[in-house]
Amino acid sequence: MFDFVSHGKKFLLISGIFLVISILALSIFGLKLGIDFKGGSILQVAYPGEKPVNSEIIEQLSPLDLGEINIRSTGTSSIILRFVEVTEDVHQQILNNLGDVQEERYESVGPVIGRDASRKARYAIILSLIAIILYVTWAFRKLSRVLKKGESWRYGIGATIALAHDVLILLGFFAILGYFKGVEINVYFVTAILTVLGYSVNDTIVIYDRIRENFLLHRSKDMIGTINLSLNETITRSLNTSLTTIFVLLAIYLFGGVSTQNFILAMMVGIVTGTWSSIAIASQFLLFKRKK
C-alpha cells in the first residue's frame, strides 16, 4: 500500500509551484482574449494559388481603416486575418481588395455581445462552483451525522478548492500559451473549463465516496489510515479513467482538425490536473487542521 498521506507535503509543494507559476503568468501576461469576448473580426480566406506575403496583404488592406491587422497562416493555402469590428460593406471591400480568394470563415462580433459573453462565462463558472459545493455537501450529509456536525462541508469545500486549483492552473497554462503562441481564449475555452470542473469533481467524488464508505463500514477513527486505504483502492480506477479519456482526446487533438485543437488541449490539461488534485489536494484537505 502506498502511503499517500505522508507524501502529502510533497504533493502540496508540487501543486504550489504550479500555482505560483500560473498566478505569475496570469498577472504578468494575462489572458489573451479572443473576439468572442472583446469584439472584433476574424476572416479566413483560401488562395487558389500561391499565398502572398504578409506585407502585400497589409498593403492591399491599408486603404481601409482596420486598425491593427494580425495575419496568420493556416494550412497550405489559407490565412487568418484579425482586425477590428467592421460593417458588412467594409467586409465586402476587404474581400474585393484581397483579390481572387475564397472566403472560408468570417466572424464579426460587436463589443456588446463580447461583454455579455464574458459576463456570462464568469457567472457560469462561479455558479457551477457554488452548485458543486452545495451538492457535494448534501451528498455527504451522512458523514455529518456519524462523525460530527459540519463534517460534510469539509468535503464540499475540499472538492471546490481542488477545482479552483484546476481552473487556476488551466488559466495559467493558457496565459503562457497566449503570450508565447498567441493562443486566444474563446467561448470554447469556457466550455472546456466547465467540463473540466464536472470531470474533476467526478474524480474527487469517486475518492470521497470510497472514504465515506470506509468510514461508515469500519467506523474507524483512524482518519489517515482510512484515507490511505481509500486512495489505494481507487487509484487504478482514477488512472484508467483518465487514461481512456486522454486517449480519446489525444485522437481528436491529433486528427480532429485545427478548430477544436485548443479546446481539446484545455480539456487534456484539465483532466490531468483534475486527477492530480483529487489525490493531492481534495483528499489531503480532509486532514487539514483536524485535531488528531
User: Please, what is the minimum distance in Å from the beta carbon of residue 266 to other proteins?
Assistant: 11
Number of residues in contact with other proteins, rule: CB under 8 A?
71
CB of 52 or CB of 198, closer to other proteins: 198
CB of 20 or CB of 239, closer to other proteins: 239
Q: Which of 164, 191, 224, 287 binds other proteins (CB under 8 A)?
A: 191
Torsion sign over Cα 138, 143, 146, 150: negative
- Cα separation, 291 vs 71, whole angstroms: 60
Considering only residues 55 to 94 of the shown chain, the ones binding other proteins according to CB under 8 A are 87-88, 91-92
Q: What is the grid cell recorded at 83?
A: 482586425
Considering only residues 96 to 115 of the shown chain, the ones binding other proteins according to CB under 8 A are 102-110, 112-113, 115
Considering only residues 3 to 42 of the shown chain, the ones binding other proteins according to CB under 8 A are none
User: Please, what is the minimum distance in Å from the beta carbon of residue 225 to other proteins?
Assistant: 17
CB of 26 or CB of 80, closer to other proteins: 80
Considering only residues 148 to 177 of the shown chain, the ones binding other proteins according to CB under 8 A are none
Q: What is the grid cell recorded at 205?
A: 467524488
User: Please, what is the minimum distance in Å from the beta carbon of residue 218 to other proteins?
Assistant: 14
Tell me how far apart the terminal alpha carbons of the chain are, to the nearest angstrom: 22
| Beta strands at 70-74 and 40-46: parallel, antiparallel or unpaired | unpaired
User: Please, what is the minimum distance in Å from the beta carbon of residue 244 to other proteins?
Assistant: 5
- Cα separation, 265 vs 188, whole angstroms: 11
Q: Which of 18, 51, 168, 209 binds other proteins (CB under 8 A)?
A: 209
User: Please, what is the minimum distance in Å from the beta carbon of residue 170 to other proteins?
Assistant: 15
CB of 28 or CB of 131, closer to other proteins: 131
- Beta carbons of 273 and 1 less than 8 angstroms apart: no
Considering only residues 222 to 261 of the shown chain, the ones binding other proteins according to CB under 8 A are 233-234, 236-237, 240-241, 243-245, 247-252, 254-257, 259-260
Which range in 62-70, 120-128, 273-281, 283-291 contacts other proteins by CB under 8 A?
A: 120-128
Question: What dihedral do alpha carbons 195, 200, 201, 206 form, nearest 10°?
Answer: 130
Does residue 136 bind other proteins (CB under 8 A)?
Answer: yes
CA angle 185, 186, 192 (to 5 degrees): 90
- Cα separation, 100 vs 151, whole angstroms: 68
Q: Which of 205, 227, 281, 282 binds other proteins (CB under 8 A)?
A: 205
Q: Where are the alpha helices (DSSP H) in the chain?
A: 8-28, 35-38, 54-61, 88-98, 111-139, 141-146, 151-181, 187-218, 223-255, 261-277, 283-285
- Cα separation, 232 vs 125, whole angstroms: 31
CB of 40 or CB of 178, closer to other proteins: 40
Q: Which of 174, 199, 215, 285 binds other proteins (CB under 8 A)?
A: 199
CB count within 10 Å of CB 249 equals 19
